[in-house]
Structure formats: structure tokens, C-alpha cells
Amino acid sequence: MGPTPPEAKVLSREALLARHGRPRTHRVAFTNGCFDLLHRGHVAYLAAARTLGDVLVVGVNTDASARRLAKEGSRPIVGQDDRAYVLASLECVDVVTLFDEDTPLPLVTALLPDVLVKGGDYAPEGVVGRDVVEGAGGVLKLIPFVEGYSTTSLLKRIRGGSR
């Protein structure tokens, strides 16, 4: 049997919960983000997150949600379906699901992952859903960023700015 096709790994919230919601017998790690321009930092982060569970679920902001959070008006650069497909093509990612809310709290509350994963730039008390996950017996894990990689710096290079 070959690898799972990316389109089969992009699930609706309902399908995600039917397959990986509680009760379950496997350990679910969950992270989220816009993942606008996928780069080495993202891939290293996701590979590390995958080691924390039997399944890695990635919540991806829809275009509308990403625009509401955007650091600049032109984001996201890549549309939600393409961002989801690219993430789902990674071996370390088991499931991708889109969310339209400003935060992943409703998704985290519904899924109740065993491990909530965020980047090392977050303070534990600032991670959305931490209290819900820990209240259900799960844990928060912060993964250090790979220095020198960010979507913002990548966009500056693309637009002819500094390296």
C-alpha cells in the first residue's frame, strides 16, 4: 500500500471528529496556523509535532480567518485549499482540517487532542485552548522555532528586500 493521497487527508470537522474524536485508542497531537508559504521552519516544526502523537492533526485558518489575522493586507498569498493540500502532502501530517473562526478554540474543544502543540514563540498562558486540553488530561508542548525561517522574512526576500 502506498502513501495516502493528500486529498484523502483533508477532512471536514465532522469527518475529523468521527475518525479521531474522543473516545479513541490513539494519541492525537494537534497544531494550527495559516501556513501561508510553506518553508523549512514549518516542515521542521510539523515533523517535531508528529513525534508527540500517533496522529498529527493540523488546523488551517480559512482565507477569511487568515485575512482577519493578517500582518499585512495581502495575506494569505496561497488559498486555503492549496495550503491544505500542500500540508496534507507531507508524510508527517495525518489530517488537515480548515477552520473559519478567529481562533481554533471551537475545534480544539471538539477534538480534545492529547497534545496541543505550538511554536516556541508562544508563552504557555497565551496558547488558545490550553486550559481545555489540560482540563481533559492532555498536555501542551512548545516546539522551538528553526532560526532564520519565517513567512514574513520569505516575503521580504521575494519582494526584493534583505536576505
Question: Beta strand 95-99 with 28-33: parallel, antiparallel or unpaired?
Answer: unpaired
Q: Per the domain annotation, does 1 fall within a domain?
A: no
* Edge-to-edge strand list for the sheet holding 55-61: 95-99, 55-61, 28-33, 115-119, 139-143
Question: Is 162's pLDDT higher than 60?
Answer: no
Question: Is 163's pLDDT higher than 60?
Answer: no
pLDDT confidence of residue 102: 94
Count the domains in the chain. 1
Q: Per the domain annotation, does 142 fall within a domain?
A: yes
Encode pLDDT of 23-74 as tens digits: 999 999 999 999 988 989 899 999 999 999 999 999 999 999 999 987 666 7
What range does the domain containing 148 cover?
Answer: 6-158
Residue whose C-alpha is closest to residue 87's, from 47, 120, 121: 47
Output the domain CATH number for residue 118.
3.40.50.620
Encode pLDDT of 120-143 as tens digits: 888 999 999 999 999 999 999 999
pLDDT confidence of residue 44: 94
The pair phi, psi for residue 88, each rounded to 5°, is -65, -20
Q: Per the domain annotation, does 163 fall within a domain?
A: no
Q: What is the Cα–Cα distance from 58 to 47, expressed in whole angstroms?
A: 12
**Are 84 and 108 contacting, i.e. CB atoms less than 8 angstroms apart?**
no
Q: Per the domain annotation, does 14 fall within a domain?
A: yes
Encode pLDDT of 80-120 as tens digits: 999 999 999 999 999 999 999 999 999 999 999 999 999 98
